[in-house]
Amino acid sequence: MAERKRILFVVNPISGGKRKTAFNKQVLEVLDLQKFNPTFQQTNHPNHAYELGKLAIEEKYDAVVAVGGDGTINELGSALVGSDIPLGIIPEGSGNGLALYLGIPMNEAAALRRLNRFEAVEVDSGLINDRNFFNIAGIGFDASVSDRFANENIRGPIGYLKSAINVLSNYKPCTYKLTIDGVQYEREAFMISVANSPQYGNNAYIAPQASVNDGVLDVCIVHKFPLYTLPMMVFHLFNKSADQSEYVEIIPGKEITIEREKDGAAHVDGEPFELGKKLDIRILPKSLRIIC
């Protein structure tokens, strides 16, 4: 009999506002234990998933599985970039943007059964001021919402909507200077999202044509728009037609620089960070393997 593959499950106990007390038991029921030998670790502080991912490389695990949302995936993916160890995903977040795009089931048991196939694809990742991202990074309105959402006591789509409404009430567009593959632009924008995959999560598509294996990032510039058009903007997001809006401009690129008037909020796969006035962004083609 072949030696069983060692899989480390990294569980974020608070992601998506879901309790995961029965998760280990379900793994032992659904995972093919003739093929796999599972180990479990819970995260208990920021960047803990990244640390566990690096440790998994040292200890020569055969795969590492993120049990959480896009933030947990980001930390583990950042640790595994450039290694041969594939990343598995059990979607347990508020948005689950990358998992939805990759077709990974939202149901726990179904996602675990998918792991049994152990088939991996190579995906691109982005780098923004030395931080990896696998889904979407951005500045402007969505970054301010992510910053506020991080401090909300309500998780999930309802909490995100509440944050968005609160930020929208006094948000002002900003002027940005962009250089995309050597071409310069200046734009007054509501927000700028740099997309590796098409959607934020919850099937809200900001860059409908984006792909995680096309070797480019989609720079999505949402221009200032009249408030009365907000329902149509939301419709475009959920109808996969944001690229058809007169207020949305999408420019593909591999090397991107964005300059703004001052330091401020940015989000990296939905997690808020304070970043400087200048953002250097580039694509890392086929830099991570994901089991899907």
Which residue stretches of 42-155 are H helix?
48-58, 70-80, 97-102, 108-117, 141-149
Q: What pLDDT, in 10s, does the model give residues 16-52?
A: 666 667 899 999 999 999 999 999 999 999 999 999 9
Measured distance CA(254)–CA(250) in Å, rounded: 13
Whether the per-residue pLDDT at 292 is higher than 60: the answer is yes
221 and 248 in contact (C-beta within 8 Å)? yes
- C-alpha distances out from residue 49 to 10, 56, 96, 257, Å: 7, 10, 17, 29
Q: What pLDDT, in 10s, does the model give residues 45-57?
A: 999 999 999 999 9
**CB neighbours of 46 closer than 8 A, spacing ≥ 6?**
none
Using 50, 70 and 90 to split pLDDT, how confident is the model at 180?
very high
Using 50, 70 and 90 to split pLDDT, how confident is the model at 102?
very high
Whether the per-residue pLDDT at 155 is higher than 70: the answer is no
70 and 277 in contact (C-beta within 8 Å)? no
Measured distance CA(143)–CA(264) in Å, rounded: 9
Whether the per-residue pLDDT at 270 is higher than 90: the answer is no
268-288 mean pLDDT: 95
> How many percent of the chain have pLDDT more than 70?
91
Q: In this predicted structure, what is the pLDDT of residue 170?
A: 75
How far is Cα of residue 82 from the mean position of the Cα atoms in its chain? 18
154 by DSSP, 3-state: which?
coil
Domains of the chain are 3-117 (3.40.50.10330), 129-283 (2.60.200.40)
Measured distance CA(215)–CA(64) in Å, rounded: 24
Whether the per-residue pLDDT at 230 is higher than 90: the answer is no
Average pLDDT, the chain: 91
258 and 177 in contact (C-beta within 8 Å)? yes
Q: In this predicted structure, what is the pLDDT of residue 22?
A: 85
Give the residues across from 90 on adjacent strands.
67
List the structure tokens of 133.
């991202």
CA 131, 96, 140, 215 torsion: positive or negative? positive
Q: In this predicted structure, what is the pLDDT of residue 148?
A: 66
For the entire predicted model, the pTM comes to 0.91
Q: In this predicted structure, what is the pLDDT of residue 150?
A: 63
Helix axis angle for 70-80 and 48-58, nearest 10°, is 30
Q: Which of 73-82, 162-171, 268-277 has the lowest mean pLDDT?
A: 162-171
Using 50, 70 and 90 to split pLDDT, how confident is the model at 78?
very high
Q: In this predicted structure, what is the pLDDT of residue 172?
A: 84
Q: Label residue 227 exposed, middle or buried (CB < 10 Å: 0-12, 13-18, 19+).
A: exposed
Q: Residue 278: what are its φ and ψ, rounded to 5°?
A: -110, 130
Q: What pLDDT, in 10s, does the model give residues 107-153?
A: 999 999 999 999 999 999 999 999 999 999 999 887 877 766 766 66
Measured distance CA(152)–CA(135) in Å, rounded: 22
Using 50, 70 and 90 to split pLDDT, how confident is the model at 234?
confident
To 10 degrees, the CA torsion angle through 194, 96, 161, 147?
-60
Measured distance CA(1)–CA(13) in Å, rounded: 35
